[in-house]
Chains A and B, each alone.
Chain A
Amino acid sequence: MTRFVIRRVLWMLLVLLVVSFITFTLMHLVPGGPWSREKALAPAVVAALNARYGLDKPFFVQYANFLLGILHGNLGISYTYQDRSVTQILMQGFPKTAILGTTAFVFAMIVGISLGMAAALRQNTWIDYVCVMFSTIFASVPGFVLGILLMIVFSVVLHWFPTGGWGSPSQIVMPAIALAALPAAFIARITRASTLETMRQDYVRTARSKGLLERVVLIRHILRNSLIPVVTVAGPQFAALVTGSVIVETIFSIPGIGRLFVQAVFARDYGLIMGTVLFYSFVISVANLVVDILYGVIDPRIRYD
């Protein structure tokens, strides 16, 4: 197992390198730059800015400088936010996004798995219909609409929570619900589908015919074996939630890192783009690694040759 993890970590470094190179290239190919604006800056000013940030150097020199910076633990500086270090910006925003994302993830998993399993075990009853309906609604209503609905109901009308911002627990509730809605719906349906399949397996029939209690059958046989696809989707979902959602963070004004990448792209903030892409890539790779390890734990038959 240790050898497996070490090998994967090495591969991860390669993945990060490839992603950083692709991003760097695309970034410079895309029209517009950090200094393009409607009321155009004087050419002398633009030249001065390019010199200051090293943008007048050849492409590969710039990339090499970036890599050198990474080796020294420096993720670069933001071109639009007063030269603040990217690491500092990420460190300020990440805890908030991570807390929100983890809360939403836990909520989505609990609601999703229990609803999905209940729906499968009681197929074609009212709980099954609730599951299908709930999952459809939360997949057809985009996050920003759900967010504003929550805001109107729970803030403006009921005054239970503030409309947004960060700092107190009451400000996590609505964004977490908005964030968890779609993953919960997806996990519920995946769990339901997987559980239905597992239930039809022969060994389940055998277990039941042996006279085992339904509860035992459920926990010992059905649960574990249904979880593979759930874990598969849970990994990337967790990574996505922890790196933040543009939509939820925008609507609820959460000062996290979810909006960071998209904002950086639209502002052509080269420094911030590179730093955040590397960060996201790292989180995703780690999440997929954890998922693969979990496969082995859940289903002992799965082996990585």
Chain B
Amino acid sequence: MATTVNAANASSRPHHTLWGDAWVRLRRNKLAMAGGIFIIILALAAIFAPLITPYGFARQDLTAILQNPSSKHWLGTDGLGRDVFARLLYGARTSLAVGIFTQVIVLGIGLPIGAIAGYAGGRVDNVLMRFVDVMYSFPDILLIILIKAILGGGIYQLFFAIGLVAWVDIARLVRGQMMSVKSRDFVAAARAMGGMGPYITERHLLPNSLGPIIVSVTFNVPRAIFTEAALSFIGIGVRPPTPSWGSMISDGYAVIFASWYQVFFPALAIALLMIAFTFLGDGLRDALDPKLRH
């Protein structure tokens, strides 16, 4: 009976999938689109920086250090006379890469572990969470110093170092969400219809628990940028004079009594990036929320 009805309606009703529907709804969300476009424009500006600014990020002008914004240097100069705007643009390369790619690692590890622990429960949950406890207390500074000593301090080592411990928060978050959502009625219903673990997780559990996860990812973006700055202290990551927003803030902090612009502009950049991710993230959550489906 149902099949005949569906067949009859098939031609008149467009086919909606979860993700396709989500994309449509996302597109309609103006703030989310603004956020996404900002990120894309920033990425393009970072890539095409040489076309946007005549100054390189390493061009020193020792006679013009710590200058205020002017027509010559839109955002002023730093302690070695380098143009701050140029350094922000080039720095976006590092900071965007770090901010975005570490989320991939963090989600790639944290999401599955948290989901499996939360859904499976029992012994699996216990073992995984004790592993998480170990990682929470893990002396990452020691490991990072060791990595630098043995493997050197390049960008891959940086991703490894940041991703190593950052996934634990997401894992616990996802697990908590799983545990509370899996006992709900619609999950029982899905199971009754014959759904298996991964299907249920992907189709029902995750979309219903995305909110806090997306918030966590949004907060991880500036967190990763600051971790990168802290790691550059140990010598991992990009090396001077290659700029990154986090290092610009650290360097600027040292001379904050001479010029507060050094801290202000990179912090502003990070704030704008985070807002963009926030809008995008909120939009994504709304788009994937099954309750808002038509």
Contact = CB atoms under 8 A, between A and B. Distances in A.
A contacts B: CB pair < 8 Å: yes
A231 B208 CA distance: 18
Interface residues of B, number: 58
Interface in B43-75: none
Contacts, number: 159
A11 to B, nearest CB: 5
B178 to A, nearest CB: 10
Contacts of B145: 30-31, 265
Contacts of B23: none
Interface string B256-294: 100000010001101100110010000001000101100
Interface string A211-228: 000000000000001001
Contacts of A19: 134, 137-139
B208 A136 contact: no
A265 B137 contact: no
A52 interface: no
B285 to A, nearest CB: 7
A277 B137 contact: yes
B146 A186 contact: no
A145 B261 CA distance: 12
Interface stretch (A35-43, A70-78, A295-303): A295-303
B242 to A, nearest CB: 20
B21 interface: no
A193 B215 contact: yes
Interface string A266-291: 00000001000100110011001000
Interface string A24-65: 001101110000000000000000000000000000000000
Interface stretch (B11-19, B104-112, B121-129, B192-200): B121-129
Contact of A284 (B136, B226, B268): B136
Interface in A116-148: 132, 136-137, 139-142, 144-145, 148
Contact of B219 (A14, A189, A295): A189
B173 interface: yes
Contacts of A229: 173, 176-177, 211-212
Contact of B130 (A15, A145, A186, A189): A15
A18 B173 contact: no
Contact of B139 (A23, A140, A231): A23
B41 to A, nearest CB: 19
Nearest to A186: B219
Given A26-B146, A200-B291, A142 B249 contact: yes
A194 interface: yes
Given A193-B285, A302-B180, A305-B122, A288 B129 contact: yes
Nearest to A299: B180
A22 B139 contact: yes
B134 A15 contact: yes
A207 B133 CA distance: 39
B122 A304 contact: yes
Interface in A235-288: 236, 239, 261-262, 265, 273, 277, 280-281, 284-285, 288
Nearest to B175: A232
A23 B142 contact: yes
Contact of B133 (A197, A285, A302): A285
A27 B142 contact: yes
Contact of B214 (A29, A186, A193, A280): A193
B206 to A, nearest CB: 12
Given A136-B278, A194-B212, A288-B133, A29 B146 contact: yes
Interface in B127-162: 129-130, 132-134, 136-139, 141-143, 145-146, 149
Nearest to B185: A202
B238 to A, nearest CB: 18
Contacts of A144: 253
A284 B133 contact: yes
B137 A236 contact: no
B76 interface: no
A196 interface: yes
A232 B136 CA distance: 14
A225 B211 CA distance: 14
Lowest 8 CB-CB distances: which A-B pairs, in order?
A193-B211, A281-B137, A140-B271, A229-B212, A301-B183, A232-B176, A305-B122, A26-B142
Interface of B: 121-122, 125-126, 129-130, 132-134, 136-139, 141-143, 145-146, 149, 168-169, 172-173, 175-177, 179-180, 183-184, 208-209, 211-212, 214-216, 218-219, 222-223, 226, 229, 249, 253, 256, 263, 267-268, 270-271, 274-275, 278, 285, 289, 291-292
10 contacts: A11-B126, A19-B138, A26-B139, A29-B146, A197-B208, A225-B180, A281-B134, A281-B137, A284-B137, A299-B179
Interface of A: 11-12, 14-15, 18-19, 22-23, 26-27, 29-31, 132, 136-137, 139-142, 144-145, 148, 185-186, 189-190, 192-194, 196-197, 200, 225, 228-229, 231-233, 236, 239, 261-262, 265, 273, 277, 280-281, 284-285, 288, 292, 295, 299, 301-305
Given A140-B271, A228-B176, 14 more contacts: A30-B146, A140-B267, A141-B271, A142-B226, A142-B253, A186-B215, A186-B219, A193-B214, A196-B211, A236-B136, A261-B141, A281-B133, A295-B179, A301-B180
